[in-house]
Amino acid sequence: MSRSKKKYILSNGNRNSWECSIRWAARSKSECYLGLGWKRFVSENNLCVGDSIKVEVPKDDDKTIIITKV
């Protein structure tokens, strides 16, 4: 993932997608926060507090993040 990018596409792995903004943490090179778009993704994918998720960033696609419930 590129720190210069501010917008990504979240996918649930089922050909559905949501645009989401990302804010990178100043104190870490690898920590980021999902912003605008995350709540809609959570709601439409029936995610709840305590759910376990898997986050994948495909090497061949620098704009998509695949998030699936495990």
Tokens coding 65:
């993040």
Largest CA distance in the chain: 34
What is the reported pLDDT for 15?
87
pLDDT tens string 1-45: 666 678 999 999 998 999 999 998 888 878 889 999 999 999 999
Task: Scan for tokens 């778009």, then name that residue.
Answer: 37
The span from the CA of 31 to the CA of 57, in Å, is 14
